Amino acid sequence: MNTRSLGLRYLLPESAKVLDGQLAYLRYPEQISESGFWIPNSSLTDGLRGVWNVFVVTEQNIVERRSVQVLYADNQAAFVQGAISADEMLISNGLHRVVPGQRVQPKLD
List the domains of the chain with CATH numbers: 37-97 (2.40.420.20)
Helix (H, G, I), strand (E, B) or coil at 26: coil
Please give the Cα distance from 101 to 109 (Å, whole number): 23
> What pLDDT, on a 0 to 100 scale, did the predictor assign at position 81?
93
Residue 54: Cβ-neighbour burial (10 angstroms; 0-12, 13-18, 19+): buried
pLDDT value, residue 1: 52
**96 vs 83: CA distance, rounded Å:** 21
What is the per-residue pLDDT across 3-53, written as a single tens digit (0 to 9) for each? 667 777 788 888 988 888 787 777 777 777 888 999 999 999 988 888 899
Amino acid present at 53: N
Note the pLDDT of residue 7. Answer: 75
Per residue in 66-91, pLDDT (tens digit) is 999 999 888 899 999 998 998 999 99
pLDDT at position 8 is 77
In whole angstroms, give the CA distance from residue 73 to residue 75.
Answer: 7
Residue 97 near residue 105 (C-beta atoms within 8 A): no
Q: Give residue 22's pLDDT.
A: 82
pLDDT for residue 84 = 92
| Residues with Cβ within 8 Å of residue 99, at least 6 apart in sequence | 63
